[in-house]
Amino acid sequence: MAAVTAAVSVPTSTSSSSLGRIALERATFPCPDRSASFQKTFFGGRLNNSDAALLFARVRTVPLNYRQSVKAQVTTEAPATTKVVKISKKNEEGVVVNKYKPKTPYIGRVLLNTKITADDAPGETWHMVFSTEGELPYREGQSIGVIPTGIDKNGKPHKLRLYSIASSALGDFGDSKTVSLCVKRLVYTNDQGEVVKGVCSNFLCDLKPGEEVTITGPVGKEMLMPVDPNATIIMLATGTGIAPFRGYLWKMFFEKHPDYKFNGLAWLFLGVPTSSSLIYKEEFEKMKEKSPDKIRVDFAVSREQTNEKGIDDIITSLAAEEGIDWNEYKRQMKKSERWNVEVY
């Protein structure tokens, strides 16, 4: 099962409608006038013949090996307007990206590496902490690259693999000198009956304290933590997709910051195959004890529950009950930085 991470940030304004709340609470949602909204957004009213003469269209296609799409732009002559400066809802200010690259990586050391799933779980998940000595500044929601030792089947050094950071910017030790990962050991049997081990996941899970690890990054802005301390943040993850949200939640409930105090609602949905695969459960329980009105945690256990569907499927069906087109609504939320997804 691929690790999936999705976050929905709900504005604090009481006038804003939230499909995230609809889909997960099954609340009533006031349907907007879709036809009027579409006309305003894409057409801006009817066009007469003279307007039509001023139109032009531009089409661009993306190579098929990535995704095929067509973008069209239609404009009319209009008075010059003041450019609107977009203010990001994410904690982007001062974010560092790609400080360390494959040719100039950072060499950290393993401080801790421990298995966090039960012995009878279908697969192993490990939590590991690496030293950075404060030289790898990152934000909650970013990722780092790891380059495993050794060479590939072609005799070349292994390429880096990306992993979501599973700690807050302060790190598990609270001194901004460490970075943590949550890694599932990949082992499977192929069609020829051969046991195949994932190169980087096994390298990481086998590391011992004191050993070196080659790190690149940090990278990514898609999953940066929402800047609004009063927002409702709905987090959906499967397996090790929990990593960025652990960083969020530590900052919200375990740390003190002079410029940040979380007063919103954090609602986490974590999907795992079995109860023995649940990770960080004790941490979530402590958070609920500290701030019972600010956090909710729900688990979806796929092999023990018979009514589970995929994230997109269930939200689509629940949205339809309220007369909402989920794909269109999701597009609007993504545009306003309220819907963010990463899949590795």
Residue 279 has pLDDT above 90, yes or no: yes
Beta bridge partners of 327: none
Beta bridge partners of 237: 5, 270
**Three-state secondary structure call for residue 304:** coil
- The burial of 19, by beta-carbon neighbours within 10 Å (0-12 exposed, 13-18 middle, 19 or more buried), is given as buried
CA 131 to CA 142: how far, in whole Å?
A: 17
Residue 311 has pLDDT above 50, yes or no: yes
**Most confident range, picked from 47-56, 61-70, 211-220:** 211-220
| Distance set, CA 54 to CA 48, 57, 59, 76, 78 (Å) | 10, 10, 17, 6, 11
**CATH for 4-10+223-343?**
3.40.50.80
Q: 339: part of which helix (H) or strand (E)?
A: strand 339-343
**Does residue 252 or residue 49 have the better pLDDT?**
252
Longest dimension (CA), the chain: 74
CA 239 to CA 274: how far, in whole Å?
A: 10
188-222 as b/e: b if 16+ CB within 10 A: eeeeeeeeeebbbbbbbbebeeeeebbbbbbbbeb
The model's pTM is: 0.70
Which structure tokens are listed for 52? 């039509």
**Three-state secondary structure call for residue 115:** strand
**Most confident range, picked from 23-27, 186-190, 285-289:** 285-289
Q: What are phi and psi of 63, to 5 degrees?
A: -50, 145
Instruction: Provide the pLDDT confidence category of residue 305 given band limits of 50, 70 and 90.
Output: low
Residue 210 has pLDDT above 90, yes or no: yes
User: 128 Cβ partners below 8 Å, 6+ apart?
Assistant: 110, 112, 113, 114, 180, 181, 183, 204, 207
CA-based angle 106:109:111, to the nearest 5? 140
Which structure tokens are listed for 319? 């949205």
| Distance set, CA 330 to CA 41, 82, 335 (Å) | 16, 28, 8
CA 186 to CA 118: how far, in whole Å?
A: 16
| Distance set, CA 264 to CA 13, 14, 56, 235, 292 (Å) | 12, 13, 46, 13, 12
Contact indicator for 233, 89 with CB cutoff of 8 Å: no
Q: Which residues are annotated as a binding site?
A: 164, 184, 240, 272-273, 302-303, 342
Instruction: Provide the pLDDT confidence category of residue 6 given band limits of 50, 70 and 90.
Output: low
Q: What residue spans of the chain are helical by DSSP H?
A: 19-25, 34-38, 49-53, 199-205, 243-253, 281-290, 311-321, 326-335
CA 11 to CA 228: how far, in whole Å?
A: 8
Instruction: Provide the pLDDT confidence category of residue 275 given band limits of 50, 70 and 90.
Output: confident
- Specify the CATH architecture of the domain 106-219: Beta Barrel (2.40)
Q: Which segments within 44-186 are labelled E, that is strand?
A: 59-61, 70-72, 106-115, 125-131, 143-147, 161-164, 178-184
Average per-residue pLDDT for the chain? 77
Which structure tokens are listed for 152? 């590939």
Give the residue extent of every domain in the chain.
4-10+223-343, 106-219
**Confidence at residue 108, expressed as pLDDT on a 0 to 100 scale:** 97
CA 74 to CA 4: how far, in whole Å?
A: 36
Q: Which residues are annotated as a binding site for NADP(+)?
A: 164, 184, 240, 272-273, 302-303, 342
Residue 130 has pLDDT above 60, yes or no: yes
Which structure tokens are listed for 257? 């910051």
